[in-house]
Amino acid sequence: MVATKQEETVEKIITRRFCTFRLSERLYGVDIRDVKEINIETDYTPIFHAPEQVRGYINVRGQVYLLLDLRKIFDFEEKEIDKNNRVVLFMPNVGDPCGILVDSIDDVVTVNEEHIENRRKKQNAHDGSDRRGIDVGKGVCKLRDELLIILDAKKLLDSVGRF
């Protein structure tokens, strides 16, 4: 059976789905396959002598997760936890049980993979900066009204180092 030209075009379109969230009024997303759940529980137990990017431990139904603070990872201004904050918990395939504290949750966004601009492919050499956020970004995608900054969930834990 011979595929028509239209069928060949359809087969080449690869879409990706992202769980999106807000942080300091910017839109971020992680691959939905890396997300275990979104939790409204933001109570955590601090870990003394941990890097400042680690808020502490959070207990969700008996499972303990390391809670990372994206505001600290990206060196954004500190913000009090409020009713809009959520915790994005990651699947075990991401690494150690961990989650991230975000300002609010947005929609699940489906984008054509061709519309994702990967700056790493265009970047020939590291510019020598010491910004932690550089290591966790996968790319950006222009949506209708704003940019979606895509993060690599697997690299978030590595960005704070082991302690």
CATH of domain 15-160: 2.40.50.180
- Which pLDDT belongs to residue 125? 43
CB 125 within 8 A of CB 105: no
Please give the Cα distance from 4 to 1 (Å, whole number): 10
93: left (phi over 0), alpha (psi -120 to 50) or beta: alpha
- Which pLDDT belongs to residue 94? 87
For all residues of the chain together, what is the average pLDDT?
85
- Taking only the tens place, the pLDDT of each residue in 91-114 is 998 888 999 999 999 999 999 888
Mean pLDDT value across residues 120-149? 68
Could you tell me the two tokens for 120? 């790493």
Mean pLDDT value across residues 52-73? 94
pTM over 0.85: no
